Amino acid sequence: MKKRCGYLIEKYRDMGSAYTCRRLLEEAETAGLSLRMIGVEDCLIRPDGVYFGEEKLEHRDFAILRYKRGHVMEEIRSLCDFSYNSPACFDRYVDKYHQLKDIEGSGIPYPRYVLCHGASMPFAVLKEELGLPFVLKGLASSMGREIYLIEDEMGYDAALRDGACSATGPDKEALAQEFIAHSRGRDLRLYAIRGKVIGAMIRSSKDDFRSNVALGAEVKGVPITPKMEEIAKKLFICTGYDYVGIDLLFASDDPDDLLFCEMNVMAGIQGMEEATGVNVAGAIIGMIAEDFGI
């Protein structure tokens, strides 16, 4: 049988030591797949093809996407027959507004929100719609970046002026959402593969309203419940993801009273593997191997 080959597309070529990339490379080798790390910032596009340094890249069976967007990433991806997640899913759901629009009517509850275009939305309107405080976030933010808790008009103006917040500058769109006080500093992260939850953990922070592991939040594995499975299955029907991190908020003390926050089509796996003992990388690679009949 032909050995199946793929590219793991990341930012730099030397990210094989980063936890998620290292684990995917390890599990691919165990599964008999040839998976090679390609750094987008180490590539050039020439008229005759894609060059990784001085090497012209060749066709491959599949790509695992770990870099959000750009022409170089698209050209590398075009060399592969299949992409995980699919281009349609990956490109659409790096945008948090698309996530919310596409689950409308699914029965999955979510906080109230307003999409606004930078400084064109007066603070008073958002205050009236969402109450105080509310959350302001960039549409493609990740790891807790470009997410602000807005408690007053001064904070709102500061967030819009913040040069580090590329998605919420005056000329960019942003998502303003109702703040769920009961979930302050904690949320529920699920990891799901084609609608099946394989791991669940609570992320919690004592010092920040955000609960991102990248910002120092602690994690604790929790049992998978029917409600979690129900939400993941509905999301899969709506979006068609291959694998995804799903973030849910706690609306009350009832563990099943959950609100959709967002999904991450390139979620890191270190916290989930360490908190739950689940081999997430193995499950992702296993899905790909199964697709190719391995």
Q: CA–CA separation, 31 vs 77, rounded Å?
A: 22
Q: CA–CA separation, 43 vs 73, rounded Å?
A: 9
Fold (CATH) for 182-291: D-amino Acid Aminotransferase; Chain A, domain 1 (3.30.470)
Query: Rounded to 10 degrees, what is the CA torsion of 180, 181, 183, 184?
Result: 120
Q: Looking at residue 143, what is its pLDDT?
A: 61
CATH tag, 112-179:
3.30.1490.20
Alpha carbons within 13 angstroms on the beta-carbon side of residue 163 total 0
Domain ranges of the chain: 5-84, 112-179, 182-291
> Which residues on neighbouring strands pair with residue 173, listed in sequence order?
117
Q: Looking at residue 35, what is its pLDDT?
A: 98
Q: Looking at residue 216, what is its pLDDT?
A: 65
Q: Looking at residue 166, what is its pLDDT?
A: 52
CATH tag, 5-84:
3.40.50.20
Run means of pLDDT, 10 residues per run, the chain, 294 residues:
92 84 97 97 96 96 93 96 94 93 96 81 91 90 77 88 54 86 94 98 79 70 98 97 98 97 94 97 98 94
The model carries a pTM of: 0.92
Taking residue 118's Cβ as centre, other Cβ atoms within 10 Å add up to 14
The angle at the Cα of 16, spanning 58 to 248, to the nearest 5 degrees, equals 105
Do domains 112-179 and 182-291 share one topology? The answer is no
Q: Looking at residue 277, what is its pLDDT?
A: 98
Peptide bond into 85 cis (omega under 30): yes
